[in-house]
Chains A and B, each alone.
Chain A
Amino acid sequence: AQSVTQLDSQVPVFEEAPVELRCNYSSSVSVYLFWYVQYPNQGLQLLLKYLSGSTLVESINGFEAEFNKSQTSFHLRKPSVHISDTAEYFCAVLDQGAQKLVFGQGTRLTINP
């Protein structure tokens, strides 16, 4: 069965500093990977996804993630964070057999002014 590990439960950073949220997945022949964001008191929404092709994928608000097959990782990065990025971030992999997402435990990103 697929599994996802998010290595940090909480990440505090200062505004305008860079950030990396780490995600590792269990190895598989082919994987489809996702990052979801949950702003306070809201549901989850898709941030970005890797399906195939370029290993670097980007979101519209400056986040990017790189698929690294040899390290089975899909880390999320942003070069300069803003207060509005305060949220919980979930990494997920698609279980293709059952057509369902398997989520990591989540990483709470806190931005300090």
Chain B
Amino acid sequence: NAGVTQTPKFRILKIGQSMTLQCAQDMNHNYMYWYRQDPGMGLKLIYYSVGAGITDKGEVPNGYNVSRSTTEDFPLRLELAAPSQTSVYFCASRDSGYQETQYFGPGTRLLVL
């Protein structure tokens, strides 16, 4: 299994540009999550999904959108990039049940200038 994969690894955007961060998992997990990590701030949940076709907002959803058309994929969309969205973005997935481990992707580093 490849686990959780994310593309791209690094991207520079200009203010106002849009982009999609890709996330895929091959473990047939129902739950998928998007976090952002800023220095000293821990991880903030942006959006999450409990299954294909179902998404919900996390702590910091403003400026982002998601979709979940398949179990495997959970892309994160930035419509109008702002400097405040400069961060490292992590995707994660887990199976149902409280005992299940959450697996993280390697992250996407985004710089908005």
Contact = CB atoms under 8 A, between A and B. Distances in A.
A43 interface: yes
A99 interface: yes
B104 A45 contact: yes
Contacts of A103: 42-43
Contacts of B70: none
Interface string A81-101: 000000000100010101111
A9 B106 contact: no
Interface in B11-26: none
Q: Place the interface of chain A in its size category.
A: 20 to 34
B98 A32 contact: yes
Given A90-B43, A104-B42, A105-B42, A44 B98 contact: no
A35 to B, nearest CB: 12
Interface residues of B, number: 24
A64 B9 CA distance: 33
Contacts of B4: 43
A99 B50 contact: yes
Contact of B98 (A42, A46, A94, A104): A94
B42 A106 contact: yes
B48 A100 contact: yes
A59 to B, nearest CB: 13
Interface of A: 9, 32, 34, 36, 42-46, 49, 51, 90, 94, 96, 98-101, 103-106
